[in-house]
């Protein structure tokens, strides 16, 4: 696995002539969304297009898709002002 956790790869990550994250409008990162629960899949099972097609009926134009993969857990929110957690 080369990527994990919630993140966004800037277009610049793929081609140097494309925009960096700071050049993208903030509207590219928030809006209505749906969560696709893929936790029933085995953790070693790569997510395939067939897995995603099962959820096509949920999609509408302009809606972000969040994937909840196998092995996903909800981490506790920590105080980010201190590396050791809440003070």
The reported pLDDT for the residue numbered 80 is: 47
Distance in angstroms (rounded) separating the CA atoms of residues 87 and 84: 8
The reported pLDDT for the residue numbered 20 is: 92
Please state the pTM of the whole predicted model: 0.58
Asked whether residue 85 carries a pLDDT value surpassing 50, the answer given is: no
Please compute the mean of the pLDDT values over residues 80-84 and round it to a whole number: 48
Q: Tokens in use for 25?
A: 């409008």
pLDDT tens, residue by residue, 3-43: 556 677 889 989 999 999 899 998 888 899 998 988 888 87
Asked whether residue 45 carries a pLDDT value surpassing 80, the answer given is: no
Asked whether residue 75 carries a pLDDT value surpassing 50, the answer given is: yes
Q: Count the neighbouring beta carbons within 10 Å of the beta carbon of residue 60.
A: 8
């Amino acid at each position: 696995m080369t990527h994990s956790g919630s993140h966004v790869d800037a277009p610049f990550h793929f081609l140097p002539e494309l925009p960096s994250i700071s050049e993208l409008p903030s509207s590219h990162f928030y809006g209505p969304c749906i969560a696709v629960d893929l936790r029933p899949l085995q953790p070693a099972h790569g997510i395939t297009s067939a897995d995603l097609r099962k959820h096509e009926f949920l999609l509408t134009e302009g809606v972000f898709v969040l994937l909840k993969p196998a092995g996903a857990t909800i981490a506790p929110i920590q105080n980010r002002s201190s590396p050791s957690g809440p003070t």
